Amino acid sequence: MNTQPPLPQPSLDPRVIPASYRDDEISLVDLWIAIARHKKLVLGVAGAVLLIGLAAALVMPKKYDYSAVIEIGGKLQQLDSVTTFTANESPETVKSNFTANESPETVKSKLESSYLPNVIRKHMGEAGTADLTPRLFKVQATKGSNILIISSTVPEELGDAIKAIMQDTTQALIKDHDRLTATEIAGLKSELSDAQRALDALIDPDARSAKIKAVEKEVEDTRVRLISLESERRLIEANLFRVDRQEEMLKGQLIDVDTLIKKINQQHAKSGGGGKGALDSWTQMVIYNQLQQLLTRQADFEERLHIQLAAERDKLSKMLEDNAHQIASTKALVEQREAELAAFMKDLDRQTIAQEHRVKSIKIALDNILATRLILEPVQSNEPAGPGKALILALSVFLGLFAGLFAAFIAEFRDKVLERMAEQGEESASA
């Protein structure tokens, strides 16, 4: 079995490290020496960068932020036929009840692709507007709201042109959105006019009184009819009472006639045999005539009692029965008319309340149509935008020192390379 002796480990003692290794180590002292050796280069580069930064700070114009805030119009949905949102509702609830004319993303796209380029073209040729492009403007849609922000950062001399373009752009958007809502507003106003006229007719005292009186007249006519039927009943009852009296009288008269007939027959029977008590022919004829008259009266009374009065009684009884049915039905009709009058009064009040709610609902719908508007006019920021002169100079100093140190390291590296190349050339020549 072959075994190899372990390789010797390199010593970590700096005194035995080869010179080539030591030359490649990074030493802070060597770095400082390199910087000191090329200090003119460091200072020169730092000074050059500082001068460039100073020139940029002096030459660069001040830029300001210009912005305008647009609120997209729409309408608030009503929670029911009358009410709408209140100030106590959460923003989420109000948001869910709001329907914008167009989504913020759609409006943003229109502003960037249509409105801004068109307005900028109209302003082309004015003093200081030759370099204006849509890229100078930024349109931001606030998440979760109907707010848009148009902003731009330009030198102050372009401020008036920028604000004019923002103003004209928002006015074009507002005009377009007003067109979207004009038809709806006109329809609601027409509906409100009709509803208001209907409400005025319901609450007008004269018209209201006329409607109530028309129904009250039907009730009163039915009551008069009932009173007439009750009077007719009393008249029929009086006629029946009169028939009863006539029946009693006829019965009494029949009794009297029957008594007289019997009495005459008895007298005639006693004198009919002749002799001393016999009556002469004249007297017998008189008695016979009286008897005939009594029999005629008896037949007349019996006819009136059993035929005429019975027929009249049946007729009056039938009239009384019919009258009773009419009175019962008329009483029911009076109750029905009175119930209808009460229901009509309630229905009139209900219609009035419902119409008032309808008018109020339409007014709320009109109020809830929110127009697109410029809630913040184009305005310039109070402070310049971007880095100030002090910051530019500070950055120039920092970048100049960094560039100078980097240049010194590059120069030192170049010297080392040249020195190594010279050593290798000498070794080659001596060999």
At 192-242, the pLDDT tens digits run 999 999 989 888 888 888 888 888 888 899 899 999 999 999 999 999 899
Q: State how far the Cα of 75 lies from the Cα of 99, in Å rounded to an integer.
A: 5
CATH of domain 205-369: 1.10.287
Q: What contacts 128, CB < 8 A, 6 or more positions away?
A: 157, 158, 161
Q: What are residue 11's phi and psi, to 5 degrees?
A: -80, 140
Task: Quote the pLDDT of residue 332.
Answer: 92
Residue 41 has pLDDT above 70, yes or no: yes
- Yes or no: say if 65 and 381 are a contact pair by the CB < 8 Å rule: yes
Domain ranges of the chain: 36-196+372-408, 205-369
- Per the prediction, the chain carries an average pLDDT of 78
> Quick one: which H or E segment has residue 153?
strand 147-155
At residue 196, the pLDDT reads: 92
Query: What element of type H or E holds 184?
Result: helix 159-203
Residue 230: the pLDDT is: 92
Q: Is the pLDDT of residue 125 over 80?
A: no
Average pLDDT for 364-383: 86
* pLDDT tens digits, one per residue of 262-308: 888 877 676 654 444 455 677 777 777 887 887 888 888 888 888 88
Phi, psi torsion values for 297, nearest 5 degrees: -65, -40
Q: Which residue, 191, 177, 51, 164, is CA-closest to 103?
A: 177
Say how far apart CA 48 and CA 36 lie, in whole Å: 19
- Sequence-ordered list of residues with C-beta below 8 angstroms from that of 421, at least 6 positions apart, any chain: none
Are 74 and 370 in contact by the 8 Å Cβ rule? The answer is yes
Regarding predicted confidence, which is higher, 280 or 180? 180
* 301 against 343, higher pLDDT: 343
Across 1-10, 159-168, 305-314, 386-395, least confident range = 1-10
- State both tokens at 299: 């037949």
**Rounded-to-integer distance, Cα 322 and Cα 304, Å:** 25
What residues have CB less than 8 Å from 257, skipping those under 6 apart? 294, 297, 298, 301
Range 326-346 average pLDDT: 89
Query: Given this model, what pLDDT does residue 68 score?
Result: 92
The count of other CB atoms within 10 Å of the CB of residue 106 is 13
pLDDT score recorded for residue 358 = 92
In this structure, what are the phi and psi dihedrals at residue 316, rounded to the nearest 5 degrees? -65, -35
Is the full-model pTM beyond 0.85?
Answer: no
